[in-house]
Each structure stands twice: as structure tokens, then as C-alpha cells.
Structure 1
Amino acid sequence: MTEQPSRIRVWYRPMRSRDRDEHHRVATPLELLFDLCFVVAVGQAAAALHHALAEGHAAHGVTSFAMVFFAIWWGWLNFSWFASAFDTDDVPYRLATLVQIAGGLTVAAAVSSAFEGDFRLMVAGYVLMRLALVFQWLRAARSDPGCRASALRYAIGIAAAQVLWIGYLWLPAGLRVPAFAVFVVLEMSVPIWAEKRQGTTWHPHHIAERYGLFTLIVLGEVILGATNAVKEGAAEPGHTGALISLAAAGLVLVFSMWWLYFDRPGHARLLRRPTMFTSMSWGYGHYFIFASAAAVGAGLEVAVAHDTGTLHLGGVAAALPTTVPVAVFLLSVWLLHIGPTNECRPIAIGFPVTAVLVLAASFTPAPIHVAAGLAAALVVLTVVATHGSPQPT
């Protein structure tokens, strides 16, 4: 007798809210594909930032990077939180997600032109991502009466925001940066407005895992960028020792960032204070973790170019592209995972103090090495200070 499969594949299912307390809620293969495609956009943004910094256009590069990275991050964030609460895994859901991926890849292809001030392709990819999510929210509103009011608010708010982004293309160049800031605030207000009506059933463990996976992706981009820079620098004769030393310092820096982020489970903060403010601040605050980690890769490439003599910047100017994002990363992890009032005072104090010292390392003869040593020392401090303490589950 042939054994029947335990789950029958159907092309359409009603989109219902998932159980917030569901056991073994892990990332799906479709979510992993989504992340994999978005890493292309992250890599393009970091590469464009590196080129802007190398050409001495720091202000323009940082501003453009912040704007481009928002489009990448916000598209990823909205899909991740939606998929945590609703995931039918039927044919329409998969197709809509693939459309969002196509939009993300379009955003990736538009990074270079966006850095040059042409946002047409960037807006096209971004709007494609967001309108596909509007379709998902309308499905949820139709299928799940319990969340209909919130789902409709999401759909209306997101659709209205896309009208603004399309209009953004016709704004004068001098108004684009302030208008961008206003539109970002409006976009980020949509979940707050929608969740006030009735909160969605996102899963704390699943959300923490999704954010952790994206952190790994960004750190992987840092390693890839630094490796490529060292490979290119190795072609310059007489710099082998300096490059090996800098590569070792970069690895220590990345390893330390990984350790410090994952030392405290992300879901512990979400479970300890399960309020809308906590979830929103935790979710939104990760913009600074993701963006700063991606920027570290660009900074290390600048440092390699400086050490090989192919970049004519002063020592401090070449160090700041690495030390500033590392300091931002430490402060962001401190605020989101540790907390200024953490019961372990050495850790609560150690993160901000180390961030300040990392910035001060910019003025030393070997800033990347000093910053890596400080980050590693903070890891040692966390290990010693938490030895024997129970870990949150």
C-alpha cells in the first residue's frame, strides 16, 4: 500500500494569521532565497559607497548610501514581518514574493545610477516590491476577518506612499533630500498606524532568526569586500606584509562584530517587553546595525587602498570610513540587545566606552588594528562578565 504524503500541495489557500506561539517556526526556503537575492543589493550599495569615499566625496557618498540602503532594508523588513504573521506558501503567495525579489534585484541594478542622482530605476524597483506586498495584505484582509482592519490599513498606507515615491521623480534636485526624509517618516508610520488597530501575529523567535540571518549576510559582504580589496592590493609590489596584517585585523573586527551581536538572543528583548514600542524600536533600529555593518566593508576597502598607496587620503580620513560604522554598530547593538540599564554593569558600560575608543583609534598610527583589538577586548569582557550566567531561551 502506497504511503500518502502528510501534506497535500494545493495551488491556493486562504491566508490566515499564523500562531504566535507556534513551535519550531523557522525560516523557509523562499525566505532564504529572498535574503540571497537582497544580498546583491547590499553588495552594490557597499561598493558604490567605497567608490564615493575613495574619490573624496564622503558627504555625497554617505547620504546616497543611507537613501539607497533604506530602499533595500525597508523592502526586506516589510516582507519579513509579513511572512512571520502570514505565510500560506501557496502559488499566489510564492509568485507575489518572487515579484518582490524582482523588485529588489531592480533596486540593486539601480544603485550606481542612484548615486549619480538618477532615481528612476530605483523608484521603479522599489514600487514594484511594495505593490506586490499590497496584494499580499489585500489577500490577508479578504481571508482573515480577525486582522481585516489592520491589513486594509497596511494596504492603503503602502499604496499611498508609492504615489508619493513616483511623484518624487519630478521634484527639483534641491528638494529631494528633505522630501526623501519626509517620505521615509510617512512610510515608517504605516506599520505603527496599522498595528494600533490590531496587532499582527508575528513570531518573536522567527523574527529574531530572520534579522540574525540578514546580519550574517551583511557581515559576509564585509568579508567579501575586504577579500577582494586585499586581492587587488596584492598586485602592488612591496605591500604583502601590510596587507596580511590588515586582513587579519579586518577578520578580527568582523568576528568580534558577529560575536557581540549573537551573544544575546534577539528574541529575548522582544519577549521580555512584548509591546508595540519595543517591537517597532527593535525592528527599525536594526537599520543602523545593518547599514553600519555593510559600511564597514567599504571602509576596509578604503583602508587597503590607503595602505597600498593607491588612495591619496590622510590617515584619519582613510580610517574614519571603518571606525565610524564600527562605533555605530556597537552603539546600536548596545541599545537594541544589551540596554543601558542592563543588570551586568561591565557590559552595559563596556559597549559605549568601546565605541568612543574605536572613534579615538582613528587618530592612531594603526587605526584598524587598534579598533579590532578594542572590539576583541569587548568580546573578552562579555565572556568574562557573563560566565556562569544563564542564557535566555
Structure 2
Amino acid sequence: MFWSRRPGTIEANLRNVKYILEESRIAGFEPPLSKINAWEPRDTEGMRLAIITLKKARVKNAKNAISNTHLQIGTVRKLLSTARVLHAGTNSGEKRNLVLRTIKGETQRFKDGMESSYFLETFKRGMKIRMGLLQRRNVPVTSELVILILKYLEEAYKDSGKEFQLRRRYLLAGTLVSLLYGGSLRGNEGFMLDADALASNIEFGKDADIPHVLAPLYGRFKGETGERFHVIPLVNISRTGIPFRIWLERALAMLRAENKIGKKGPLFCDVKGDLLKSKDLEDLILEAIENVQATQVHSELIPNEWEVREMYGIYRSFRRGAASTAANEDVNDFTIKLVNRWRKYETARGSVPNMGIMEYYLEHKKVLKRILSFSKSL
């Protein structure tokens, strides 16, 4: 049980125990402390799970991982979560659950079993203290950096000397960068861009008062349940010259040439039409950032001492950068929250998962100008 305690805390507790024992002896009564007996010769508290977890933690990570000496606590603790979920689903685990239900129908379950023991809770706390919780910072990008990233990716995909599939990925990487930054999206969310819906509505908004393009996303987002449908309006070109529409049109033209439109597939797909892995495009994007760092002369967009692959990542760098840039350009707080928290906005309005793209667009038309002011400021 001392696994999760600091040495000073253990010493203080030991002094307190000795004090209670001595005062109890002087007063002539039994010490008001629980007796510490030998544990039973079987595992009732999760010792086996702790041993397996420790062994997994010693596995070395691959190159460019957060740590090359051990796995992260966030990874290994999933073993304990798996065991807890399995126990809850068993006959004995379900029968012994205590469930509290609120008047709104929300439930809170209190579970027992070694998977939820006090021993394992303190064990996890001890792992965190000893292993630390290293995280990639995913520092925010700037509009100036995004422009240079897109320039590198554009030159790479236009390079006829490169192999076709590689050039294809460079094009999709550039499209992903523009989408993530313009829509303030997390990396995985960008891969939900639907090819057919984009193709059907690519001309919409092209000649509007505020020229824009609609990026339709299908899928389940963080914090949501059920399949959902979202439309991200982006201006054709941002304040600094980031051409959001052009990149979407380029990717769409490529898929049309490959006869992939009408196949109900994602925009970010391989030559077979299957969804690409985020790593396939993130490697190229980080390559572009490394190139910017290596070739920068007058201005230091990226400090030379930084390890690009440790500091940047598609999961948060573009989302954070977009929000920071918009704030610096005096986009009001309501608009930034609307763009970055549109899931809550939609939930409040009771959006329907199967709503058509035009119906969905009209539902949000009253705030369209505000939403477009976000990508315009970038």
C-alpha cells in the first residue's frame, strides 16, 4: 500500500501509529487501530494484474515515441480497464453492482471485485508517480507556418519525379492541413471528410457574398454517441492567403480521375478506396515542418533546438494554432467557442444525424457569417 506514498508521508504515518500505540498503552486500552494480518495465500486484490501491468510497462517503444525506454502509463493502465470491464459484464460482477439513478435517468455504478480494489488504485497512483506522465506538447502552428507547410507539400505532389502513390499522399496531406487548420479540427476528425457529399456540394458558396466551401464530415466525434453529420464552412481563401477551397478541389479532382466518387467512401483514402491511417499523412506533414525548420533563414518560426516530431502533431497543433490566431485577430470569444465547441451547439439545437447537407446548412445559416469569420482571420 506504500507504493503510491512519498517517503515523507510513510515516515509521518509511522510516527502517528507509534504515538497512538503508546498513548493507548498509557491509557490502558486496546489501540483503536485495525490489526494487520497476513494476506490469504490467493490473489483477491489484483496482484496478478499489477505484475502483468508492470511487465508491459517495460516494453520499449518504437522510434519517435514519447519515451524509448518504457510505455506510457496511459497505455498500460488500459489493461486494468479491460479487466474491470470484463468483470462488470460477468454474471457475478453484474449481480453485485450497486446502481444509483438520478431523476434524469443518469446512472452511477459502484463496483467491487479485485479489478476495482484499493490496492490497484494505489498501485496506479504509484505508477504515475514513478513513471511520470510525459505528453507530446503539440505546440500550435501559425498561419505563416501553415503557408510554408502547404508550399512544401504542393511542390512535392507536383514533382513528376516522385512515385505516383507518394505524390498522391502529398496532395492529401496538404488537403488535410488546410482542413484541420481552417476548421479547427483534431487530427482524427479531418479523416471523416466524405468524398461524395463534398463532390455534390463543391460549387455551393463559391460565388456567395462571402465566398466559401462546405466540408461535410461523417462519423462519431469525441464526446458524442451515435453517428453524426457535420458541415464545416470555410472561406475560399483566408486573410493570409491560405486557399482552403483549392486544396479541397484538388483532392476531389484526383478522386474523380480515379473513379472513386459515388462509392460512398472517404476523401482521405488510399488507391483502393480504403481510409488512410493518420500516420500515413502525419509523417509527410511533419516532414514538411522539418523542412521549414531546416531552411528558415531570417525568421525563426521553429526554434532550431526543437525536435519537430516531439513538439508538433496533427492531433492538436492545427486546432490550437487556429484558435490562437483567431483570438489574436480579434475574433470574438463567442465565435471561437462556436467553432471549437460546435458539438455542444448542435446538441442544444437537437441536430438530426440523418439531416441532408442543405437542411443542415440552412439550420446554421443564421450564424454562418460568424463561423466564416473564424477561417477568414487565419
Q: TM-score range by the shorter chain?
A: under 0.3
Structure with larger Rg: 2
Q: Output the TM-score relative to the length of structure 1.
A: 0.26
Q: Output the TM-score relative to the length of structure 2.
A: 0.27
Question: Is the helix fraction higher in 1 or 2?
Answer: 1
Question: Is the strand fraction higher in 1 or 2?
Answer: 2
